[in-house]
Amino acid sequence: MSKRIVYGVTLFALAVAALVGGGLIWAVALGAAAYIGGEEFMGMTKAKGMAPSPRITRFMIVAFFVLAASPEIPGLGIPHDFPLAHFPILLTIGVCMSFFRLLFRTENPPATIADIATTILGFIYLGWLPSHLVLLRNLVPPGQVEASNPLQQAGLAYVWASLFMIWATDVFAYYAGKKFGKRLLYPQVSPKKTVEGAVGGFVASIFWAFVVVYMADNYFFPNHPFQGKLWQAPIMGALVSIASQLGDLCESLLKRDAGLKDSGNLIPGHGGMLDRGDGLIFGGAISYYWVCMVVLGIL
């Protein structure tokens, strides 16, 4: 078995274990991955001659995940709607800190527009956006009490469905592109992705969205997390697939601009953390707002 497969299976198993554990386990695991992704992002900016503030970027990535996980911290009694309500405050603090810190940077020459912009982009891209997956895992439908059994919590169903859509997009886009790919999707950014692959991933996501939502509501979760709204599943699958594929292209754009093949070399045969999680960054955030606004109607 190749190293790529071994490391891929191991990473998948760890992700599933953290997801099932939920609570602080999921938040810490995801936060650690985002933190590593932040280091890779800063490496790309440095390859372009930019100098974002590493302290602010790191602090803000951690802060977003701590805020997202705060209702799960024992003894604090923080309500589940607290993190989302305070995300704008934290984002405002981060933006102000980025400007003020870099304004008084002692290096010569002083900070540039690019330094400030990449500092802010770093914690939005690797802090604010992916921390929505923590919020999604902790979602409780209105009028319900969170199940004590992690395997029956609605948040598990929401994240699991989202991951199925994202993974289906990734896997089927690869194989459809390899088998049928002829027309390049966006060669200026990603020279190997094809239109046929993108369509294959898109269709697969819609199919698996339907299957997973149906199975979740009718077999695996007694609290019916998707409330029997099966007609919404294909639409969610389509939106998450588009977000995931655009996230993949966005990460490719960053690497190409930085002159790098991979974001890092953390995972042998796979590249860096960003190379493996680029689709989750946007797909997870879209999933959260879809579930809140359309499935549960709480936003």
Q: Does position 168 have pLDDT exceeding 60, yes or no?
A: yes
Q: What's the confidence (pLDDT) of residue 148?
A: 87
SS3 for 144-172 is CCCCCCHHHCHHHHHHHHHHHHHHHHHHH
Instruction: Summarize the confidence of residues 11-18 as an average pLDDT.
Output: 89
Measured distance CA(138)–CA(256) in Å, rounded: 36
Average pLDDT, the chain: 93
35-83 pLDDT, tens digit per residue, is: 999 999 999 999 999 999 999 999 999 999 999 999 999 998 999 899 9
Per-residue pLDDT band for 272 (boundaries 50, 70, 90) equals confident
Q: What percent of the chain has pLDDT over 90?
A: 79
Instruction: Summarize the confidence of residues 82-91 as an average pLDDT.
Output: 96
Q: Which residue has the higher pLDDT, 1 or 209?
A: 209
Q: What percent of the chain has pLDDT over 70?
A: 97
Q: Which residue has the higher pLDDT, 3 or 95?
A: 95
Q: What's the confidence (pLDDT) of residue 8?
A: 72
Question: What's the angle, vertex CA 71, arms to CA 68 and CA 76, rounded to 5?
Answer: 130
Measured distance CA(114)–CA(26) in Å, rounded: 33
Instruction: Summarize the confidence of residues 123-142 as an average pLDDT.
Output: 96
Look up residue 93 and give its amino acid. Answer: I
Measured distance CA(234)–CA(238) in Å, rounded: 6
Q: What's the confidence (pLDDT) of residue 164?
A: 95
Q: What's the confidence (pLDDT) of residue 221?
A: 94
Of the candidates 140, 32, 122, the residue with the CA atom closest to the CA atom of residue 84: 140
Is residue 60 within 8 A of residue 126, CB to CB? The reply is: no
DSSP-assigned states of every residue in the chain: --HHHHHHHHHHHHHHHHHHH-HHHHHHHHHHHHHHHHHHHHHHHHHTT----HHHHHHHHHHHHHHHHGGGSTTS---TTHHHHHHHHHHHHHHHHHHHHHHT--SSS---HHHHHHHHHHHIIIIITTTHHHHHHT---TT-PPPSSGGG-HHHHHHHHHHHHHHHHHHHHHHHHHHH--SEEETTTEEEEEHHHHHHHHHHHHHHHHHHHHHIIIII-TT-TTTT-GGGHHHHHHHHHHHHHHHHHHHHHHHHHHT-SSS-SSBTTTB-HHHHHHHHHHHHHHHHHHIIIIIS---
Question: Six-digit token pair at 8?
Answer: 């891929």
Q: What's the confidence (pLDDT) of residue 116?
A: 95
Per-residue pLDDT band for 276 (boundaries 50, 70, 90) equals confident
Q: What's the confidence (pLDDT) of residue 269?
A: 64
Q: Does position 131 have pLDDT exceeding 60, yes or no?
A: yes
Q: Does position 247 have pLDDT exceeding 80, yes or no?
A: yes
